[in-house]
Structure 1
Amino acid sequence: MGCLLAGSISVFSQKSNEWRIRARGLGIVPQESAGIGVVGGDISIGAAYIPELDFTYFFTKNIAAELILGTSRHTVGTKGSDLSAIGGPSSADIDLGKVWLLPPTLTLQYHLPLGCGFKPYAGAGVNYTIFYNASSGPVVKNVSYQNKFGFATQLGIDYDISKKLYLNIDVKKIFLKTDATVDASNLTPSAHPELNSVLGNIGAPTKINPWVFGIGIGYKL
């Protein structure tokens, strides 16, 4: 009886033209890879854990749009780079500092109320990631990143704990690439000045492709 009552409250409270706001904790786990010019090796991007705020608008009882707002700071480095041309080891891990990511993501969702307060949903949409406040670390002169659009998919579930409050669990996959450029001209050997222009413009097309895991609480406005 309690389950049926919760289901009826859930259907009643989910309506069109409704705004919702959520506060969540996120774990952002990159699935990174890169093609690094000149020195080779692969990329390493650290995970981040952040607070996040998001807004959802229901066009109908089942169709909604979600916008997430949050920013994260990640460590960046290379693995197994060959520095033998400048007198270094043939397999080195290079600290490339840290970078902040601001990735507003807009998804269109389909919600399916199941009763008992449970409402799973699936969504897909677009992401635009802004890279800012990049530090280059102690080794190279500079690292820059291009802002990029990406594609996002998501699965999640809401659980009503009252007519206004609900719990949320959400998993997103963001398909994100960037073109990173490393200026390592400061490492040019004095005996080989011809390497200056090469080391000053090392390209690294990078796939970040993070998983984004979220859990939090929402409020129906």
Structure 2
Amino acid sequence: MKSVLHAISVLAIVVCGSAAQAYEQGDWILRFGAITVAPEASSQDVNLPDGLVAEVDVNDDTQLGFMPVYMMTDNIAFELVAATPFEHDIEAKGKGAIKGTSLPAGSTKHLPPTLMFQYYPRGGKSGWQPYAGIGINYTVFFDEDVDDELVNLLGDLTDGEVDNADLDLGDSFGLAFQVGVDVPFYDNWAFNAAVWYMDIDTEASITAKSGGMQVDKVEFDVHIDPWVYNLGIAYRF
């Protein structure tokens, strides 16, 4: 990420010099681009039948992001981070006697709207615009699904009683931190690069069923805590 920010900064200096307009109080800025959510996932032990133990891993996903910004002053702004729904595959990784094994466990979609309070040290000055922010993230999980391989494993561990299972992930509320930069290249247009760290924790449960009736339930906490990256462009109104 440091090399990306450096490359964009150099490009902007070469292309546009000091022609860019300053960010000022009352301006609106719309950023949009490709947002990648890269979880640094960890979880409590997932205690399966027959004494087997696993932990959860969550894969990356990239979606279209859009981030409106309002400049309250030349240096202070609010940004709302929004995106099309992210979808993540979930894996169960064995521990103890089954360490080194992994199994597709399911998938989920989520929306992570985040409100950021930002500081622009070069606000009111023309040229590149670095910024830093702190804010609140609220993550909504939906369309959770349990993979057939995990259903089959639960069936094997419970003498074939399981024919389906439900996954439920509780919504999350936590802090978010951000650094980024807008590098102008033409009139009100700029390249944008940004990185966030988000505190996303959820309570998960997998309910195994047979004939529609619950036969087992596994509950555990998951710390998703992703690094989130955006590369895109910005337009100043």
TM range (shorter): 0.7 to 0.9
Checking the alignment, whether the CA contact within 8 Å between 1:108 and 1:123 is kept in structure 2 is yes
Checking the alignment, whether the CA contact within 8 Å between 2:79 and 2:116 is kept in structure 1 is yes
**Structure 1 equivalent of residue 33 of structure 2:** 24
- The correspondence of residues 116-195 of structure 1 with structure 2, limited to 5 A, is 117-138=127-148, 139-140=150-151, 141-186=165-210
**Structure 1 equivalent of residue 64 of structure 2:** 51
Q: Match for 2:146: what amino acid?
A: S
**How much has 1:135 moved relative to structure 2?**
1.2
Q: Match for 1:213: what amino acid?
A: Y
CA distance in 2, matches of 1:108, 1:43: 32
CA distance in 2, matches of 1:22, 1:90: 46
Aligned length: 200
> Which ranges in structure 2 are unaligned for 5 or more consecutive residues?
1-12, 152-164
CA distance in 1, matches of 2:30, 2:57: 34
**How much has 1:151 moved relative to structure 2?**
0.9
What does the per-residue CA deviation read over 1:158-182, in whole Å, with 9 as the maximum and x for residues that have no partner? Answer: 1111331111100000011000101
Q: Match for 1:128: what amino acid?
A: Y
**Structure 2 equivalent of residue 216 of structure 1:** 232
CA distance in 1, matches of 2:89, 2:107: 4
Checking the alignment, whether the CA contact within 8 Å between 1:123 and 1:154 is kept in structure 2 is yes
Secondary structure of residue in 2 paired with 1:135: strand
**Structure 2 equivalent of residue 191 of structure 1:** none
Checking the alignment, whether the CA contact within 8 Å between 1:36 and 1:202 is kept in structure 2 is no
The sequence identity of aligned pairs, in percent, is: 25
**Structure 1 equivalent of residue 91 of structure 2:** 77
Q: Match for 1:118: what amino acid?
A: W
CA distance in 1, matches of 2:208, 2:92: 13
Aligned with 2:81 (options 68, 73, 79):
68
**How much has 1:113 moved relative to structure 2?**
1.9
Higher mean C-alpha deviation, range 154-163 or range 211-220 = 154-163
- The alignment yields a C-alpha RMSD, in angstroms, of 2.2
**How much has 1:116 moved relative to structure 2?**
6.6
CA distance in 1, matches of 2:73, 2:17: 20
Checking the alignment, whether the CA contact within 8 Å between 2:82 and 2:113 is kept in structure 1 is yes
Q: Match for 2:168: what amino acid?
A: S
**How much has 1:81 moved relative to structure 2?**
5.3
Deviating runs (4+, > 3 A) in structure 1? 89-92
Q: Match for 1:182: what amino acid?
A: I
TM-score normalized with structure 1 length: 0.83
Q: Match for 2:127: what amino acid?
A: G
Q: In 2 relative to 1, CA 21–93 (structure 1 residues): closer, same or farther, beyond 3 Å? A: same
TM-score normalized with structure 2 length: 0.77
Higher mean C-alpha deviation, range 100-109 or range 38-47 = 38-47
**Structure 2 equivalent of residue 190 of structure 1:** none
**How much has 1:117 moved relative to structure 2?**
1.7
Checking the alignment, whether the CA contact within 8 Å between 1:101 and 1:130 is kept in structure 2 is yes
Checking the alignment, whether the CA contact within 8 Å between 2:22 and 2:126 is kept in structure 1 is no
**Structure 1 equivalent of residue 3 of structure 2:** none
Q: Match for 1:53: what amino acid?
A: F
Q: In 2 relative to 1, CA 81–185 (structure 1 residues): closer, same or farther, beyond 3 Å? A: farther
Q: In 2 relative to 1, CA 142–94 (structure 1 residues): closer, same or farther, beyond 3 Å? A: farther
- The correspondence of residues 93-132 of structure 1 with structure 2, limited to 5 A, is 93-113=102-122, 117-132=127-142
Q: In 2 relative to 1, CA 6–60 (structure 1 residues): closer, same or farther, beyond 3 Å? A: farther
**How much has 1:142 moved relative to structure 2?**
1.2
